[in-house]
Every structure is written in C-alpha cells, then in structure tokens.
Amino acid sequence: MTTKKARTTAPVIAATQNLATYEPPIYHPDAGKKALQGLTTQLDTLTEADLVTLKLDVEAATYAALGVAGFIADPGIHARFARLPAAELDIAHVDGLGATCFAMLYALGEARAACALVTESKVSPEIQAESVEVEKRMQAVCEYQLSDDPEIKPELDRLRPGMGNRDTANDLLGYARIYDLRPDVVKADTKNYRRDDAAKARDLAGKIIQALSTAMTPRARVAHERYARVWTLLDRGYNEVRFAGLWLLRNDPQAEQRFPSLFSAGRPTQGRPKKVTAPDEPTKPVNGSSTTSPT
C-alpha cells in the first residue's frame, strides 16, 4: 500500500504521521521545535483579538488531540476526511494535527521553562477585591439569564472553573464579551446587573494583565505569547477535525470518545468553585414581572 502524500500546505512531520500504520505520533522536543518553526507564518497572522484564552489543562488537552491525530491517520479514516469537499473542510487541518500538537507541547515546555505560566504577581489588594466583586456579579447575571442559551452555555462552562490572577482577568474579559453579545438579556437582571460592569471588567482585566506582564521577564513574555498563539491554532484546527469527524462517524456509538472535546479532556480538576448559587436568587421573570424564589 502506498502512503497517502500530505498536501504541502499542511504542517506535517512525515516521520511521526505514518498513514500506513496509523500509530499515534510520538513526541520528541526536536520534532516539536521543527513543527513550531513550520507554523511561523500562521502564528504571525494571528491578531490579539484572535487569541483564545487558556482556561484548561493544555497538556492534557494536547495529548487528547494527539490521540485523535493518530486515529485519523488510519488510511481508511483519512480517506473519508479527504473525500469531503474542500469548501467544507481543509484537509490541511487533518494532515497537520499531529504536528500542531507537537508544536503545542514544545511551546508549553518553553513557557514553563521561562516561568511564563505563573499566575500570581503583585496585583494590589484593591484591584483583586474589586475584580472578584465585579466577576461574581457578572457571573451571577450570565449564569442565571443565559444558562440555557446554546451559544453562550459553552462559554459559561469554560469560564466557570479556574484560579489565580490570570484566570480572573480572562474571566472578566469573557463575561464582558457575553454582555456585549446579549445586552438586552443581561439588562433584564434587576438584581446583579450594573450598567458600567462590562467597561469596569475590561479595565480591571487590563490592570491585572499589565501587572502580570510587568512581572515577566522579556523571555517569559515572548514564550507566553507564542504559547497562546500555538494553542489558538490547535484549538481552531482540532475543532475543524472534530466536527467533521463527528459527522463522518455519526452512526458510530463511540464517535464522542474518538473525537473528544478539548475542554472536557483538559477540564481543570482543581480551583476555586465558581458556580454562583444564592439562596435568595430570584426566579426568571414571568410575563415581564420579577418574582422571588419560594423558600
């Protein structure tokens, strides 16, 4: 059997993505470094607005994606992906998944070595206290008003766990974005909504991020930005593969296990509980009125 040749646009490491044997790629730092270099152009095209916040165990999520890279390298599975119209799926996402995982593992190692993942720094007690207050209030609004919104719910799940200053900054930005996406819905919350909370959240997040950045060495700042950029590429590419795979294997009862959610695979197991449950939380308004939950 001849090995299917990957497109030249895909960041592939031939020695580790063997379509004939479909064995999971085996990571080595040298291969990771090479893969990262191969992604330079794609990484440089990302803007700050493109970057995905990292609120999960990136290492665990990357290993899950790497397992999928091995599975889709099976000639039969790969051929099914390749038959999809290019307008629906760029096969480069399939061919390049293993290499992108390698680049992520290498970038993660470099970020750790540079102490770029430290989440605590000298953030003033006043900013910390106000950040917690604003975050708690905005979370209460979003959880109560939007927990059944299919577009917003995954974001709420992502924002809920975590700990540390970096996580708080990411949460504030996340809730501010939800406020922008559903302005009329959040305004309906008469208990916790504050008109200036979204702007305040962004301001506080900026101050926390500035404190974190100031505490970093130049090497750490570079390593962290690269780490975030590679994760953004991996997250994008993997989701393209995952959603296509779930459709292709829609009749396979193990489809969800074969193409797991990276959020689920890397879900933090520790951290502060962030689910807001208030005993006096009002029930959802009925016919425009606001009532209180029965005790």
Which residues on adjacent β-strands are paired with residue 289?
286
Domain-embedded: residue 153: yes
Domain-embedded: residue 281: no
Residue with tokens 């308004």: 285
Gap between the Cα atoms of 64 and 220, Å rounded? 26
Question: pLDDT at position 272, please?
Answer: 42
Domain-embedded: residue 14: no
Asked whether 224 and 242 are in contact (CB, 8 A), the reply is no
Q: Do residues 195 and 175 both lie within one domain?
A: yes
Alpha carbon separation from 260 to 16, 39, 264 (Å, rounded): 22, 24, 7
Domain-embedded: residue 292: no
Asked whether 104 and 230 are in contact (CB, 8 A), the reply is yes
Question: pLDDT at position 31, please?
Answer: 93
What 3-state DSSP class applies to 107? Answer: helix
When divided into structural domains, the chain yields a total of 2
Q: Do residues 182 and 207 both lie within one domain?
A: yes
Question: pLDDT at position 129, please?
Answer: 92
* pLDDT tens for the 295 residues of the chain, in order: 444 333 333 333 333 344 444 566 688 999 999 999 999 999 999 987 788 766 678 999 999 999 999 999 999 999 999 999 999 999 999 999 999 999 999 999 999 998 887 765 678 889 989 999 999 999 999 999 999 998 898 888 888 876 778 788 888 999 999 999 999 999 999 999 999 999 999 999 888 888 877 767 888 889 988 999 999 999 999 999 999 999 999 999 999 999 999 888 877 554 444 444 333 343 343 333 333 333 3
Residue with tokens 């209030």: 137
Residue with tokens 């504030």: 172
How many CB atoms within 10 Å of residue 134?
24
Domain residues for 202?
125-215
Gap between the Cα atoms of 149 and 241, Å rounded? 25
Domain-embedded: residue 205: yes
What 3-state DSSP class applies to 220? Answer: helix
Asked whether 212 and 121 are in contact (CB, 8 A), the reply is yes
Terminal-residue alpha carbon distance, the chain: 70
Question: pLDDT at position 16, please?
Answer: 36
Question: pLDDT at position 281, please?
Answer: 40
